[in-house]
Amino acid sequence: MRRMLFYADVKRSGKVTKQSLILSDTKLGIGVKISLGLSDRSLCLPTIIPRALLTSEDTQMTVLRPIPWKQSPKDTEKQTEEGGGGGEKNGTWLDSMRAASPPRATAVLETQEHKSWMLQHPSALSMFDQIMGASKGKKIVMFMDYDGTLSPIVEDPDRAFMSHEMREAVRDTAKYFPTAIVSGRCRDKVYNFVKLAGLYYAGSHGMDIKGPPTSHRNHKDDKSLHFQPASEFIPMIDEVYKSLLESTKTIVGAKVETNKFCLSVHFRCVNEKEWDDLAEKVRLVLVNYPKLKLTLGRKVLEIRPTIKWDKGKALEFLLKSLGFAPSDDDVFPIYLGDDRTDEDAFRILKNRGQGIGILVSKVPKETNAAYSLRDPSEVMSFLKLLVGWKKQSRTKHDAHGAK
Ligand SMILES: [Mg+2]
């Protein structure tokens, strides 16, 4: 079994200690983390988890970073069993921030760890021909996340614009394939960024779906698609939004964003010294709302209804609306995303054995996606290749038909 090793700084009862964790590319490794009360919030690398979010009251995990391969896995396992792996005193939030900084992330690219991860999740660009081969005779349906997939992650979430060239690539993609944008943002907001008609938009983590009439193989539906599985939560979300605006206003840089069916508290512009305070304020508001849950994204806290609905469910709903059943082998969904919330969709495709998931990431992450792309510019290259391939196969088909 191939193992991925990570290192975690842990604070117990106010005293910083250091412990090693072992993650693997199987569910066994995730189990190790869950046993420490850290949950799957720590799947991203590097990941920073505010104290207030941890389920264990006296444990703070500040950062995960790879252990060099030269360290023996056995040694690490021993340290874990013994409950400690060294006495360095620098396991602070500041370390976490530094570990998350671009120079470290770039360095990860060169490691053996990254190379081995790329073997398991090869580039969708270098494997393009094989992917198209697998889709032969099937209907390709495209699903794309927005932030970090079509647009770069920027300091101000209101300025996460996609490039003109990327918009053209998405427009061309939608000409040839049913295309959906699946985002944590509210539908109107993501539409205002993408600005393309004729696509399906699944906003608020799939809780607000709208799109053109679904013309599928069985029949043509004249009505546009509109589905909101969590509409009863709108008044509650609005109430919490107002409470959070009030309670977080003393924290400089904190930004509370309403996505109609869910909320985002961005801390990418907050001084790291105040991350704990911010998370605690959010947690205190949510104590009064047991029907809402809190999850961690990329420098963002997400508040969502506890209903079983996520990007994976949105993908299932859209495929069904297009006339494809879970067992159909004539559909080839391709889902591109960079966030932990996209894993729900990757998991659905993996379990169904339909299509492929492509994780957008420069660093190794535990993922259910089969392939990877490094960043939005590689996503754009992939879309252009896809459109070019489709045009070429149509030309061949037409030439064949004319004979
Ligand atoms: Mg994203």
pLDDT at 223: 77
How far is residue 62's CA from residue 239's CA, in Å, rounded to a whole number?
31
How far is residue 349's CA from residue 331's CA, in Å, rounded to a whole number?
11
Do 284 and 247 meet the contact criterion of CB atoms below 8 Å apart? yes
Least Cα distance to 257 among 313, 183, 311 occurs for 183
Least Cα distance to 174 among 159, 194, 188 occurs for 194
pLDDT at 253: 94
How far the first Cα of the chain sits from its last, in Å, is 53
C-alpha 337 – ligand 1 centre gap (Å): 6
- The tally of CA atoms less than 13 A away on the side-chain side of residue 368 is 21
C-alpha 150 – ligand 1 centre gap (Å): 8
Q: Which two tokens stand for residue 330?
A: 């004539």
- Residue 181 in 3-state DSSP? strand
CATH class, range 231-305? alpha beta
C-alpha 338 – ligand 1 centre gap (Å): 5
C-alpha 146 – ligand 1 centre gap (Å): 6
DSSP state of 83: T
pLDDT at 217: 53
C-alpha 340 – ligand 1 centre gap (Å): 8
How far is residue 28's CA from residue 25's CA, in Å, rounded to a whole number?
8
Residues with CB under 5 A from ligand 1 (ion): 145, 147-148, 338-339
What lies within 8 Å, CB to CB, of 48 at 6+ separation is 62, 63, 93, 96, 97, 100, 275, 299
C-alpha 144 – ligand 1 centre gap (Å): 9
Residues belonging to the chain: 403
Question: How many Cβ atoms sit within 10 Å of the Cβ of residue 278?
Answer: 23
Decide if domain 128-229+309-402 falls under CATH 3.40.50.1000: yes
Structural domain boundaries in the chain:
3-119, 128-229+309-402, 231-305
C-alpha 336 – ligand 1 centre gap (Å): 9
Residue ranges, the chain, pLDDT below 70:
1-110, 215-222, 400-403
- Residue 42 in 3-state DSSP? helix
Least Cα distance to 146 among 102, 178, 105, 191 occurs for 191
Q: Catalytic annotation on 145?
A: yes
Measured on CA atoms in the order 177, 181, 187, 190, is the torsion positive or negative?
Answer: negative
Least Cα distance to 155 among 282, 269, 317, 51 occurs for 269
Find the catalytic residue in 145, 147, 338, 339.
Answer: 145
Measured on CA atoms in the order 245, 248, 252, 257, is the torsion positive or negative?
Answer: negative
How far is residue 91's CA from residue 287's CA, in Å, rounded to a whole number?
29
Per the prediction, the chain carries an average pLDDT of 76
pLDDT at 386: 98
What pLDDT digit, counting tens, does each position of 57-112 carry? Answer: 223 333 333 322 223 333 333 322 222 222 233 233 334 333 433 444 445 456 88
C-alpha 87 – ligand 1 centre gap (Å): 37
